Chains A and B, each alone.
Chain A
Amino acid sequence: MKKKKKIEDIPCCGGLLIGESISLDVSGKGISLERLKLWVVALFGIFGTIFGVVSLFDIRCDDAQLSVLALASFLISSIVFSSKKYAFPSLVLIVLMVLGFFALPQDELDYGFKCFVNCIVEQASLESYDISGFYVPRKISEYECLTVFMSVFSVLTSFLVCFSVLARKSFPLSFVFTFPLIEVGLFFGIAPDYKCFAMLLSFWLAMVVLSNSNYREYVGSSGSDFVRKGNSFMPKFGMKKRVDCSSALCMLVITLAVFSVSGFALDVFDIKRPDSVNELRYTLKHDITNMSFEDIVDKLSGETGKSNYGNLRSGDLEYTDSDMLYVKFENKMNTNVYLKSYVGSVYDSSSWEEFEEDTIDELSEIESEFEDICYPQNMLWYFMRSNYADLPKTSVTVDVINAQTDFCYTPYGSEPKRNAEYVDDSVALVDSVVIGDNDAKASYSYDFIPSNFEMVIEWHCDNENNKNTLYLDTEQYDSFVEKNYLSLPDDDDLMSLYEDEEYAEIFENYRSGKANVYQTLCAIRSLIHDNARYTLSPGEAPDDVDVVYYFLKENHKGYCMHYASAGAVLARMAGIPARYCVGYVASSSKFNLLNKEGSGYEFMLKDDAAHAWAEIYIDGLGWVPFEFTEGYSQPSQTTTTTSSTVTTTRRTTALSGTSVSAASTTSTTTTAPLASLSQEPRENGPLKTIILILVVLAILALLTVIIIMRSRKVALLRRKKSMSTQSGAENAVNAYRYIVSLLEFGGIAADGRTPLEYAGLAESKCDFLENGQLVSACNCAMKAGFGSMYLNKDESEKVCKLSHRIAKAVYDSKSCIDKLKMKYIERLI
């Protein structure tokens, strides 16, 4: 709204007054293109919004039709909104018409809207929301419906944007009309097409310029271009000589340029998001998401809650591309290597927790039954060593970059360390060695026997004779395991799974001995896979429902955390001791992309390598990992190779997870789908950078050349125009000025001489000038310039011709460099 104020009394002394009739004259102001510039701004807003939304939600529709309709609406708007008086009523009428069109019973528009919502839901991964009301039958063509809906959207957007730009020149209005849908996408982490976003950004900034230059309007000063406020004078709202639209257009161009340069610089210099930013983002998001009143109270009271590692209600998962662990393997691995960190032993329907203190005390009492270093955590190593003595040992060094330093990331089958410390029946703490070459917070190295442990379980279960080959007396520990690793919360929902036919059958088969441990675990895995789908955004489980039950029976969606939990819980239900593990997985596919460097294979494990799996306790084997997550497990291929008839050699080859000495026999390399783990290494050699810099320089050089050529052309045209006006006197004066510039470039400086003296001097110095010729031209110019006398056409033409002749003569007399300077820098010819 325009503010109207009365002019304040002039605070000046009564005798000396400044008149209110103030004018601004602009020379050579031809046709005003301000309106045209405003249209350009509006078009940026319209197309930026429409195609920004289309790109943001990946809407598949007829883009050409949208463009045509948007243009048509724009043309109508430019006529309708040209009159400010009728702009608002017209807009109301148009909006009512469009809404009326919406209200009409049209299947295509209706389905178009539903498809549009579905597109948003799909792109924003909002599947957990109930959108059953937006169901679109399969027979309906999504493309056509979306085209109809987006056409209406385009028309409406065009009118609204045109109203805010052409009629109101208001930034807030234009922002309100163009931003919300883009904001929806940005909120859900979807990036629009950069070009569209650049258009929108430049449009918004152009609108800021337009809004800023709207001076307040005051009453009075009707005859002037300016209005008065005290001793200040400012242009009127409708002042025709304003340059708002030109400024807005400049802003538009500058924004586009800066945005493009920023994008280009980002690409050329390969600027990446630092891990610290990703971490910060993750922490912030996590804190915000999980912020609750109880947490705040806890924090204020200084109480620390339970560890968060086993929390199963953390909702959607999002990777930040942060560097977590840097691993160096001595040999190439054929199988995934699990680096264990946290172990959850107690399941409480919403998380996996460590043992209570009483249980730990109980555990410490039975530790004596183990011989020195053969803890359940090391049984696997001894088992492998005793049964497969020919299996090669390898080593791995784990540098902790951004991962938690509370753990030591131990691979399975690792050699017991003398400095190891076993806590809570799970974590093996060893002294870390900090290595200063890659900012590692801690570093651990292990010797281990890499194996496909699923095959180990299978083989172990198939051969009853192999049980307890270590001949350890683990009776007390076994009873401890049975007591503590089979316990489950007394949750009705969870217990109802015992009643469920398909679950009950698996449990019964194991109890009755129809199925061994491995077969039971495989059956559980298949059941989980049949009931759930892998996704990183399953949504958060309700507080009052058991997480595993919700995952298996209600939500049917989840990721490794849910799969591992479900696997461990179902194994316990069947009677197999199991627990929950968290850590990182070095995928075997990583090794396929690497060549051996120096002493081994080195790579970074990002946060997307974090994983959860289950550990199963098997008598004689100890704690062995078992994979329940879809896409991670590697069962089928190996199961076929493990019959009771296979030879020890073949078994050894199949079990081996390394190709150190048997490159030709690594037929069991896992081919399980590990898309989420594999990352293409990025080659960014200096050559690419040099080429990019050269390309940039070439483009800049080309632009410079174009600008120089263009400015020369403009200068020449201007000169030509200045010497061919209607007024002969003006032509002569301009031609003489040109002559003086040429002669000065030729080395004859005026040095304060009068024009006639200068002409005489030039004649005496220049061979190409005939005697009296320049003096005569000088007289003509003086007559025209100072005397304001009429100059006939012949006289002015004579001066003009002389100027051309001098230009040619001066040009011919110069060296190549001077010629270039004369042409492109001085722009004299």
Chain B
Amino acid sequence: MVKVIASYALVAIAALIFYIAFIDSLSLILLITVILFPLVLLLSLLIIRAKTQISFFCEKSGENKGCDVNFNVRMYNPTFLPLPRVKISLHYENLLSGERSQAQFLFPLHFSRTQTLRFSISSRYCGKIEAVVDEVVFFDYLMLFRLGKKQKLQCSTVILPSICDADVLISEESEFSGEKDVYSKTHPGDDASEIFDMRDYEMGDRMSQIHWKLSSKQDNLIVKEYSKPVNSNVMLLFDFNSSQAFAADVLADLLISLSYSMIERECEHFAAIYSMQDNALRFFDIDSSESCVVMAQTVMCTPAFEGAKALESYCENEFSRRYSHIIYACAQSSQVQSQLLEQLAMHTRVSAIVVDQSGFDGSKKPYMISDSAAVYTLQSGKIDALLSELVI
């Protein structure tokens, strides 16, 4: 670009010298042409930039690991001027694993036609892939000017986790005991002994649900929503605390596989992961395969982090809640985690799973020592072995 501008400046100087040296009016015409020319080019470029319509879309909403997902940048230049070069800069990232990269595409822009640039992205690890077009740059014919069109066009797709279809062994301790003291945190139910929420009256609500006392106070009909008891009080607490993409992938696979297996065994349960966005734990009441999918969608775009935030947050805020079994999984373990798990294990049954990253980053074997909790080491590709070993 600088080279071209410098070259053109030299041409302009040459035209000026030619104008001084050459008496005929041709030299003046040439000089005016040389001066006017960039302005005309700039004007045409401005028109093209203003008129060109750009859209960005993905062909599939979800795909398996390692498979290509096609992304399309569609451009329509309604003018009669083609451009030999247009540059699109974009970046794409796996929200779960945190992998991020960028790409640039140089291509011609046809006139009065719609053109589609199609490229594919594949990922070895699951997660939500988000691609964002950062800038579209238009170059004039001589490459003297470059005009950018800042457009935050984005689209995404999900690389699905690999679900391991293994039978998990569910112990009687984890089954519903008869006393419905564990209720869903996310869904209302029919158990009148526990109120889930209060809200305004809506058509179809039963009369018995109306909270008359409160309604009279607020001069508005308020109804009570009852809680939903769950038949199991197993908690899957996951810390996606790894800088390694594969570890997050393994953890996601484990969480979805475990949850899905439990649902298949009609074992409703809870799951909690730490959300960096909310800076708090996010709970999921998994009572069906649909709710399992909802959880999976959230997990896919939850970025990994450092430390054991989920476990710490749980111990800090939810310690009073009683679960029959807490299954804690993380990618990196530390002494702090061991201590917290020890505390938990004093009140409830705890199983800890640590991803073995030694084969990947050369680190030491996972550190997790607990007298009270059962500790498992998860090796990549061996989720089924773990699930068959694990007693819930």
Contact = CB atoms under 8 A, between A and B. Distances in A.
Interface of A: 12-19, 21-29, 186, 189, 191-192, 194, 197, 201, 205, 208-209, 212-213, 215, 226, 231-235, 241-244, 246-247, 250-251, 254-255, 257-259, 261-263, 265-266, 271, 273, 277-278, 280-281, 284-285, 320-321
B116 A233 contact: no
Contacts of A186: 18, 22
Given A19-B119, A189-B22, A189-B24, A266 B29 contact: yes
Contact of A28 (B19, B21, B104, B113): B113
B119 A265 contact: no
- The 9 A-B pairs of least Cβ separation, nearest first, read A191-B24, A19-B120, A243-B82, A213-B84, A262-B32, A12-B101, A234-B106, A13-B99, A243-B108
B23 A273 contact: yes
B129 interface: yes
B284 interface: no
Interface of A, secondary structure class, is mixed
B115 A19 contact: no
Interface of B: 4, 18-26, 28-30, 32-33, 36-37, 40-41, 44, 68, 81-85, 92-94, 97, 99-111, 113-125, 129, 141-143, 245-246, 249
A16 B84 CA distance: 30
A763 to B, nearest CB: 33
6 contacts: A14-B124, A15-B123, A16-B125, A22-B118, A235-B107, A250-B141
Contact of B125 (A15, A209, A254): A15
A226 B105 contact: yes
Q: Which among B22, B114, B129 has the greatest number of chain A C-beta atoms within 10 A?
A: B22
A33 to B, nearest CB: 12
B84 A212 contact: yes
Given A27-B113, A27-B114, A235-B106, A19 B121 contact: yes
A208 B41 CA distance: 14
Contacts of B109: 243
A273 B32 CA distance: 13
Contacts of A25: 115-116, 118
Contacts of A261: 36
Contacts of A262: 29, 32-33, 36
Nearest to A25: B116
Consensus secondary structure, chain B interface: mixed
A4 B87 CA distance: 22
Contacts of B44: 254
Contacts of B29: 194, 259, 262-263, 266
Given A21-B120, A262-B29, A26 B101 contact: no
A24 B119 CA distance: 9
A197 B15 CA distance: 14
Contacts of B142: 205, 208-209, 212, 251
A257 to B, nearest CB: 8
B103 A250 contact: no
A576 to B, nearest CB: 40
A281 B143 contact: no
Contacts of A254: 37, 40-41, 44, 141
Contacts of B99: 12-13, 15-16
Nearest to B112: A28
B121 A17 contact: yes
Nearest to A247: B84
A208 B141 CA distance: 9
Contacts of B103: 18, 231-233
A49 to B, nearest CB: 16
A469 B4 CA distance: 79
B92 A15 contact: no
B111 A246 contact: yes
Given A232-B106, A251-B141, A262-B32, A281 B20 contact: yes
Contact of B26 (A191, A209, A212, A232): A191
A16 B121 contact: yes
Contacts of A278: 23
Contacts of B111: 243, 246
Contacts of A16: 92-94, 97, 99-101, 121-125, 129
Given A19-B68, A251-B141, A281-B21, 8 more contacts: A17-B123, A19-B121, A24-B117, A28-B114, A191-B22, A201-B30, A212-B84, A250-B81
A212 B105 CA distance: 17
A819 to B, nearest CB: 25
In this complex, the member of B93, B108, B122 whose beta carbon has the largest number of chain A beta carbons within 10 angstroms is B108
A263 B24 CA distance: 12
Given A15-B245, A16-B101, A209-B141, A235 B108 contact: yes
A784 B101 CA distance: 42
